[in-house]
Amino acid sequence: MRRYLFVAVVCLLTSAAQAASTEADYKTALAAAEAAEHDAGALKNQWIPTEQALAAAKKAAAAGDFDTAVAQAKEAEALAKASIAQAKEQQTAWKAGVIR
Amino acid sequence: MRGAIAQGSALFVAAVLAAVLFANARASAQALPGQALAFDRSKGNCLTCHDIKGGDSPGNLGPPLADMKARFPDRKELAAIVFDETKRNPQTVMPPFGRNLILTDGEIEAIVDFLYTR
Amino acid sequence: MRIFRASIVVTIMIAALVVAGARPAAAADSIDPDADFKAFRDYFTKLFPNVPLNDFVNGPYSMDAELRKQWEAIDDFPPYDFAVDRGKEMFATPFKNGKSYGDCFPDKGIGIRQNYPYFDDKTGEVITLELALNRCREANGEEPYSYVTDEMASLTAYMAFTSRGKPFDIKIPNDPRALAAYQNGEEYFYARRGQLNFSCASCHVQNPGNHIRTEVLAPALGIVAAMPIYRSEWNGMGTMSRRLVTCNSQVRGVPLKPQDELYRDVEYYLSYMSNGLPISGPGARP
């Protein structure tokens, strides 16, 4: 019985540790997202959903919900990177559509 | 003895009936999300370019979406079109809903389910 | 010695070409606005053989007969009239220093809209009408106007009105900076942007006359001729800057700052493509 209790407690603790993001996790994720969005800005190709995800991340963090904050920051980073990929591809791809 | 069997059968029938009703409820609940996603302007927003039965004021930048099961028997092909039509047609005006993170994989699957009913 | 003589010959030949005013001979992938212009015009006139050339400046109304009827019905009391009147009044009102808008422009600013944008070789930049108006204000000690609200719309509505019917006369001087600005504008027009992955061309080259939901798309040929516009959807006037900003956000792209270099470049490109077509502004749109 005691052994089962011990295993149950360990399981609970490890799963809890996996689920909860910390403020440090959030700051790391936000920094990565903001760096990517900055690069997208240099290419003059930022997306509105990226800005919305960044805002949502900050709002969640301010409310102490770091799980949401990290998820939103990671989404923002993914969106920013997609916008960078678009800009880089379009630097040559735009010519294919020109009326000749 | 006979009473117990009768009671058991009645319970069994009731259980089966409940299961069938429950399954139907889940099925119609699943049909709705795909249509809702397709028609939602912030999600698929399909009506902006496509005429789809059940939708109003459609645009005509893309072909009408009808007869979908016959036209796209390969489900993966239809999902790929929604994910990123530029792979098939580099000059398409259809947004790459998957590649550009407009829709999740689950949302694309739900929309494909819905399109197969059109 | 032979190489030296050869290079002198080549130099003289190039100089002769420059003097003759010819643009550098078109090589593969070099900038040729004249060829682009012809191809652009041919594309739209072939696509819409029943639309008179000058009618392209009426945008969606040149594409859709039903829409045109609605437009003609409001023409007795055009919704931009108040903007023209206000613009005329603003033009006539001196700045605090006694000067007025007319002092900043050729011909006192009357009947000149069709020459904008132009390339300023002193500063090496594209000057749009909106930019010129704000520079005029600042040069005379006044605060610049927002590029997306009513004062700028009124001023440009009045100036467009005084140029009604005059053909676009946009010049691209034989200057690599002007050619670069032109090409940047062309690139901006054709490059996909925003989460929705549209370029300006997606709608206005690939789908003129088609409709997104109920909105009929205008052809790119002549598309800037009607600016600024009264848009029923906006319940008010919209400047060129406002239209570009809105187009960006509609495809979920973060808009650039109004009058950003790229916005001026794309206006330059589109205006050059519309050379010869009459100013139809200010316009009314659904």
Pairing of strands C211-212, C236-238: unpaired
Is C2 domain-assigned?
A: no
Rounded Cα distance, A42 and B84, in Å = 26
Rounded to the nearest 10 degrees, how much is the dihedral formed by the CA atoms of C124, C127, C132, C134? -80
Question: Quick check: is C154 in a domain?
Answer: yes
Q: What is the mean pLDDT of chain A?
A: 90
Residues of C in contact with B49 (CB under 8 A): 212
Tell me: do C124 and C217 sit in the same domain.
Answer: no
pLDDT in tens, B25-58: 444 444 469 999 999 999 999 999 999 999 999 9
> Tokens 């959807």 map to which residue?
C233
Contact criterion met (CB below 8 Å) for C177 and C271: no
pLDDT reported for residue C22: 47
Asked if B26 is an interface residue toward chain A (Cβ–Cβ < 8 A), one would say: no
For this structure, is C247 an active site residue?
A: yes
Give the residue from chain B lying closest to A49, CA to CA.
B102
Mean pLDDT of A18-30: 91
In a domain, C207, yes or no: yes
Token duo for residue C275: 């050379």
Q: Which residues contact C3 (CB under 8 A, 6 or more apart)?
A: none
Question: What ranges do the domains of chain A cover?
Answer: 22-97
- Compute the count of residue pairs across chains B and C with CB atoms less than 8 Å apart: 37
Chain centre to alpha carbon of residue A51: 11
Flag whether pLDDT at C16 surpasses 50: no
Q: Which of C190, C198, C212 to mutate to test the interface with B (most CBs of B within 10 A)?
A: C212
Q: Is the pLDDT of residue C61 over 80?
A: yes
Contact between A36 and A77 under an 8 Å Cβ cutoff? The reply is yes
User: Which residues from A are below 8 Å from C252, CB to CB?
Assistant: 47-49
| Same domain, residue pair C211 and C270 | yes
Would you call C213 and B60 a contact, using CB atoms and an 8 Å cutoff?
A: no
Contact C253 A47 (CB under 8 A): yes
Is C18's pLDDT higher than 80? no
DSSP state letters, B5-18: HHHHHHHHHHHHHH
Is the CB of C206 less than 8 angstroms away from the CB of B101?
no
The residue among C161, C185, C213 that closes a domain is C161
Separation in Å, CA of A35 to nearest CA in chain B:
19
- Of all residues in chain A, the one with the smallest CA distance to C192 is A90
Range of the structural domain that residue C129 is part of:
81-161
pLDDT averaged per 10 residues, chain B (length 118): 58 58 48 87 97 96 97 98 98 98 97 96
Which of C195, C197, C207 to mutate to test binding with chain A, by most A CBs within 10 Å of its CB? C195
Chain A positions in Cβ-Cβ contact with residue C36 (cut-off 8 Å): 98-99
Interface check for B101 against chain A (CB to CB < 8 A): the answer is yes
In sequence order, which ranges of A1-100 are alpha helices (DSSP H)? 2-19, 23-42, 48-62, 66-93
User: What is the chain B residue with the closest CA to A93?
Assistant: B90
Residue-wise pLDDT tens digits, A26-45: 999 999 999 999 999 999 99
Nearest residue in A to C263, CA atom:
A44
Q: Are residues C135 and C44 in the same domain?
A: no
| B87 chain-A contacts, CB cut-off 8 A | none
Where do the structural domains in chain B lie, given as residue ranges? 2-115
ipTM: 0.87
* pTM score of the predicted model: 0.86
C190 pLDDT band, cuts 50/70/90, is very high
**Structural contact between residues B31 and B114, judged by C-beta atoms closer than 8 angstroms:** yes
Task: Work out the percent of chain B whose per-residue pLDDT is above 90.
Answer: 72
Tell me, yes or no, whether C178 and C218 share the same domain. yes
Establish if C267 belongs to a structural domain. Answer: yes
Q: Which residues of B touch A76 (CB under 8 A)?
A: none
How high is the mean pLDDT of chain C? 92
d(CA B96, CA A77): 18
- E-only strand ranges, chain C: 118-120, 125-127, 211-212, 215-216, 229-231, 236-238, 283-285
Q: Which of A77, A60, A78, A68 is nearest to A21 (CA)?
A: A68
Q: Which chains reach chain B with 3 or more Cβ–Cβ distances below 8 angstroms? A: A, C
Task: Kindly list the residues from chain C whose CB atom is less than 8 angstroms away from the CB atom of residue B47.
Answer: 213
Are C108 and C221 within one domain?
no
Please tell me the CATH superfamily of domain B2-115, with its number. Cytochrome c-like domain (1.10.760.10)
Cα(C274)–Cα(C102) distance, integer angstroms: 26
Whether B91 sits inside 8 A of A82 (CB atoms) is no
Question: Domain ends where: C161, C183, C205?
Answer: C161
B31 — contact with chain C (CB < 8 Å)?
no
Q: In A, which residues are within 8 Å of B101 by CB distance?
A: 49, 75, 78-79, 82
Nearest CA in chain A to B93: A97
Is C10 part of any domain? Answer: no
Tell me, what's the pLDDT at B9? Answer: 62
Whether residues C195 and B102 touch (CB distance < 8 A) is answered with: yes
Which of C31, C38, C254, C270 to probe the A interface (max A CBs under 10 A)?
A: C254
Both structure tokens of C117: 């944008």
Q: What is the CATH number of the domain that holds C40?
A: 1.10.760.10
In a domain, C57, yes or no: yes
Label residue C247 by pLDDT band (50, 70, 90).
Answer: very high
Q: Average the pLDDT over C127-149 and give the result.
A: 98
In a domain, C194, yes or no: yes
Residue A17 binned pLDDT confidence (cut-offs 50, 70, 90): low
Are residues C176 and C60 part of one domain? Answer: yes
Q: How confident is the model at residue C74, as a pLDDT?
A: 86
Q: Identify the band that residue C30 occupies on the pLDDT scale cut at 50, 70 and 90.
A: confident
Tally of domains in chain C: 2
Which of A48, A95, A99 is nearest residue C254 as measured by Cβ atoms? A48
